[in-house]
Structure 1
Amino acid sequence: MDIRTGFFYLFSAVLLFAAFRVITARNPVHAALFLVLAFFQASAVWLLLRAEFLAISLVLVYVGAVMVLFLFVVMMLDIDVSSLRAGFWKHFPVAASVGALIALEMAAVLMGGFRPEEPRPMSAAVQAAAQGVQYSNTKELGKLLYTNYLYPLEVAAVILLVAIVAAIALTLRQRKDTRHVDASDQVRVKARDRLQIVKLPPTVAAPPAEPVTAAVENKA
């Protein structure tokens, strides 16, 4: 076993442990940190496969943006973990059935890749590495992404755009339990609409004091 195989088993073992701790950790912050560890181990596996662009993208996008934002949200919100786990055993049979079905599908797909097949032609990366030519997998990935997979990429972009618009619409919708201020009304407001000047006399005469004896007689 060479050093690359050793590193692969090491990164894979840590990745499986981190993924298991993501779903078993009771603290959501700890689960998010284990997910960050899983992303780092996955990027290391990508580096072993000479996919530097995918590895860096995984670290920058997921660890540097998504998980940091998720950690901020989790730490700022007062999440009641006990209420979230209240219906765990109630929905466990359905979740276990779906998980088993996904595991069987993944096994059926992955086990087909280990069957002996006819030798396939070498890819451009392997040919370039064998000939000692400088090869950029990022460039080749861009060519493949924007030629053969251009329409799926555009469909994914449209779906993400619709998701962003839907998230903004759900956030800005009027609710009865929150206060809403129209930005256009704030822009069109004028000073005379907010400030009203009322003229008052500088002095006001005090009402005459009622005699004490008259007040006592009235009370009697």
Structure 2
Amino acid sequence: MDVRTGLFYLFSVVLLFAAFRVITARNPVYAALYLVLTFFRASGIWLLLRAEFPAITLVLVYVGAVMVLFLFVVMMLDIDVDALRAGFWKHFPIAASVGALIALEMAAVLMGGFRASEEPRALPGVAAAAQAGVQFSNTKELGKLLYSEYLYPLEIAAVLLLVAIIAAIALTLRHRKDSKQFDPAQAVRVRASDRLQVIKVAPTRPAAPPAAPDTPAAETK
């Protein structure tokens, strides 16, 4: 067993353990952290397969953006975990049956790629680079393909994302009567004298002496 095979088995074992803990952890924060570990292990397997672009995309998009946002939402919201797990055992047989069916379908699809009789087919660019002895980069070839044959779909997707960003900002900054808003321009131009106001207060006077309490002897007289 070489180093690459050993790393593959190590990453796979950690990935399966982390994926199992995602669905068995009682705390949603721990489940999200185990999911982050699962994404990192999957990214390592992608790197072993020499697929740098999916590996770095998995880390940047899912770990760096989606999971961080999910952790913030989970930690800020008061989630009643007991209420969510109230009907777990009630729906467990149906969930287990659906999970087993999905596992069988995935096994039927993926087992064809692990047959020893079939040789793996490489991409034309990969095969040509291997025959020529040139170091091949799938990220570079993917960039060439995106900005040559798929340039217009890429530009359309970029415009749609830009419109979505502008719409989200417009919906957030719209004026509502029930929300408190401020003008960012005024906040930038504010001065220290506008924030602090010195008020002259008259000097304090000594407190008046307390009145003498009435004695019981005086009352009897």
Q: TM-score range with shorter-chain normalisation?
A: 0.5 to 0.7
What are the superposed Cα offsets for residues 114-162 of structure 1, whole Å, 9 maximum, x if unpaired?
Answer: 222267466422431442324321132245557788899899x59x97x
Structure-2 change in CA distance of 1:151 and 1:76 (3 Å): same
Structure-2 change in CA distance of 1:56 and 1:27 (3 Å): same
**In 2: Cα distance, 1:38 partner to 1:27 partner:** 17
Q: Which residue of 1 aligns with 2:75?
A: 75
Please, what TM-score do these two structures have when normalized by structure 2?
A: 0.65
Q: Which residue of 2 aligns with 1:23?
A: 23
Q: State yes or no: 1:132 paired with 2:137.
A: no
Deviation of 1:5 after TM superposition, in Å, equals: 0.4
**In 2: Cα distance, 1:6 partner to 1:121 partner:** 24
Q: Which residue of 2 aligns with 1:8?
A: 8
What pairs up with 1:184-199 in 2 under 5 angstroms?
Answer: none
Q: Please give the secondary structure, in 1, of the residue aligned with 2:142.
A: helix
Q: State yes or no: 1:84 paired with 2:84.
A: yes
**In 2: Cα distance, 1:6 partner to 1:36 partner:** 22
Counting matched residue pairs gives: 171
What pairs up with 1:23-42 in 2 under 5 angstroms?
Answer: 23-42=23-42
Amino acid at match of 2:177: V
Deviation of 1:4 after TM superposition, in Å, equals: 0.4
What are the superposed Cα offsets for residues 151-208 of structure 1, whole Å, 9 maximum, x if unpaired?
Answer: 99899x59x97xx79xx7xx99xxxxxxx6389xx99xxxxxxxxxxxxxxxxxxxxx
**In 2: Cα distance, 1:150 partner to 1:90 partner:** 51
Q: Which residue of 2 aligns with 1:204?
A: none
Any stretches of 5+ residues in structure 1 without a counterpart?
173-179, 188-220
Identity over aligned pairs, percent: 77
What pairs up with 1:61-210 in 2 under 5 angstroms?
Answer: 61-115=61-115, 116-117=117-118, 120=121, 123-144=124-145, 181=177
Q: Larger deviation: 126-135 or 45-54? A: 126-135
Deviation of 1:60 after TM superposition, in Å, equals: 0.8
**In 2: Cα distance, 1:86 partner to 1:154 partner:** 47
Please, what TM-score do these two structures have when normalized by structure 1?
A: 0.65
Q: Which residue of 1 aligns with 2:219?
A: none
Any stretches of 5+ residues in structure 2 without a counterpart?
184-221
Q: CA RMSD in A?
A: 3.3
Deviation of 1:19 after TM superposition, in Å, equals: 0.4
**In 2: Cα distance, 1:144 partner to 1:126 partner:** 17
